[in-house]
Amino acid sequence: MIPYGRQNINQSDIDAVLEVLKSDYLTQGPAIPAFEAAVAAKIDASYVTAVNSATSALHISVTALGLGPGDILWTSPITFVASANCARYCGADVDFVDIDPDTFNMCPQALESKLKLAEQVGKLPKVIVPVHMCGQSPNMRRISVLARTYGVKIVEDASHAIGALYDGSPVGSSRYSDITVFSFHPVKIVTSGEGGAAATNDPEIAARLSLLRSHGITRDSDQMTGPSDGPWYYQQIELGWNYRITDIQAALGHSQLNRLEQFVEQRNALAVTYDQLLEKSDVVLPGRNPLARSSFHLYVIRLPEADATRHRKVFEALQASGVGANVHYIPVHLQPYYQRLGFGPGDFPTSEDYYKRAISIPLYPDLTEQQQEHVAKSLDNALAF
Ligand SMILES: *Cc1c(COP(=O)(O)O)cnc(C)c1O
């Protein structure tokens, strides 16, 4: 089976991990700040806090922005559940903004009308989480103007998008947001096994992120409420968690980061090959935002019509021919947990239409042209029924 995504591990990655295993620190050592500095340099961010997952990064990010009970977070339904769950961890409420049908990202027009209505009824969100679906930036220019107008903070969920560009800047430079979050899960662009990071240009937010990553504990006397008792002393000044990444993971992530441009170039080239192979197929190819260079975490094709039965048949036929397709994502508001909170079918029609049509086909740096041809032929065969 050709998987939909897969990591690329070379000898340098293995050597980097072995070096940490033979060193004094498996965690809380020097590989972590080195990794953070390397990520910051790649994405042109002032501060990067590496953690054990993007889920943790989202949680500490919205906490650092003050999200809590009584507050509301908005994201789009076509994302992994973590983009919404981070609000629930803080006791905040979640609502959704429907997607743009071509890019699958948060639709700025839908955001604008929803903000207008929310202001009228006094229910503006505190934080919005635009998702870089498939590795392509949302329309951050418009989203950030709207956020500023309504006094809303922005956390970009760029879990798919390290190495991507938007409007001439690396995704993560947070030109249009307060914080940008990345994932280093093995199916993503670069991996640390499990891992994530939160990037910001605000020194106060950065300080809170690093506190919250490790129990809310500080050893910095400037942050303490009073004088230190001695060299052993630390203070817990907030409630945080243990979301630390290990040096083993950080070393792997750092080594992978050296191939970031290569991975993104390979993914873009593979996407162009799919564009050509599927040009005449009875599917809708992924839409491109001219302001963005996608990192192409995913290549999502859509069936011409929303037809749940046909969708399933095409998907099963692909799997039967050894093509490990996937669907990204089941609309979050249709998950039983979110339906119990009051959401239901019909709430976000563009997302629901997308879900009945979308199939992610395999895309990862080591995918060969023959495999791509097999995927394209299998898709055409599956569509012929
Ligand atoms: C993968 C992913 C996450 C969660 O990442 P983890 O590192 O697995 O916690 C969050 N949001 C999106 C959009 C993702 O794709």
pLDDT above 90: residue 290: yes
Residues 57 and 193 in one domain: yes
Residues 317 and 230 in one domain: no
Helices of type H across 153-307: 203-213, 247-257, 260-277
Please compute the mean of the pLDDT values over residues 285-297 and round it to a whole number. 96
Please compute the mean of the pLDDT values over residues 281-301 and round it to a whole number. 97
Residue 79 alpha carbon, nearest atom of ligand 1 = 13
pLDDT digits (tens, 9 = 90+) for 219-237: 999 999 999 999 999 999 9
Residue tagged 């990553």 (tokens): 213
Rounded CA-CA distance 219/92 in Å is: 30
**If you measure from the C-alpha of residue 77 to the centroid of ligand 1, how many angstroms do you get, rounded to a whole number?**
14
Total-model pTM: 0.98
- Provide the terminal-to-terminal Cα distance of the chain, rounded to the nearest Å: 22
Range of the structural domain that residue 171 is part of? 11-257
pLDDT above 90: residue 314: yes
What local confidence, expressed as pLDDT, does residue 89 receive?
98
| Smallest CA separation from ligand 1 atom 10, residue | 82
Rounded CA-CA distance 253/246 in Å is: 11
Residues 312 and 337 in one domain: yes
pLDDT digits (tens, 9 = 90+) for 111-131: 999 999 999 999 999 999 999
pLDDT digits (tens, 9 = 90+) for 16-49: 999 999 999 999 999 999 999 999 999 999 999 9
Residues 251 and 368 in one domain: no
Residues 212 and 265 in one domain: no
What local confidence, expressed as pLDDT, does residue 322 receive?
98
Rounded CA-CA distance 150/84 in Å is: 20
Find all residues with CB under 8 Å of 234, minimum gap 6, and list them: 217, 218, 219
Residue 53 alpha carbon, nearest atom of ligand 1 = 7
What local confidence, expressed as pLDDT, does residue 71 receive?
98
DSSP-derived letter for residue 368 is: -
**Residue 90, domain CATH:** 3.40.640.10
Q: Which residues line ligand 1 (CB under 6 A)?
A: 53-55, 79-80, 82-83, 131, 157, 159-160, 183, 185, 196
Q: How many domains does the chain have?
A: 2
**If you measure from the C-alpha of residue 155 to the centroid of ligand 1, how many angstroms do you get, rounded to a whole number?**
13
Residues 210 and 269 in one domain: no
Rounded CA-CA distance 236/244 in Å is: 16
Helices 369-383 and 308-320 pack at an angle, to 10 degrees, of 140
pLDDT digits (tens, 9 = 90+) for 49-91: 999 999 999 999 999 999 999 999 999 999 999 999 999 999 9
pLDDT above 90: residue 281: yes
**If you measure from the C-alpha of residue 195 to the centroid of ligand 1, how many angstroms do you get, rounded to a whole number?**
9
* Preceding peptide of 243 cis, ω within 30°: no
**If you measure from the C-alpha of residue 128 to the centroid of ligand 1, how many angstroms do you get, rounded to a whole number?**
16
DSSP 160-174: T-TT-EETTEETTS-
Task: Using the 3D structure, point to which of 219, 235, 257 is the last residue of a domain.
Answer: 257
DSSP 319-334: HHTTB--B-S---GGG
Confidence of residue 385 (pLDDT cuts 50, 70, 90): confident
| Smallest CA separation from ligand 1 atom 2, residue | 159
| Smallest CA separation from ligand 1 atom 5, residue | 54
Pairing of strands 169-170, 179-183: unpaired
Find all residues with CB under 8 Å of 39, minimum gap 6, and list them: 45, 48, 50, 162, 172, 182, 197, 199, 253, 257
Please compute the mean of the pLDDT values over residues 292-316 and round it to a whole number. 97
pLDDT digits (tens, 9 = 90+) for 132-173: 999 999 999 999 999 999 999 999 999 999 999 999 999 999
Residue 4 lies in a domain: no
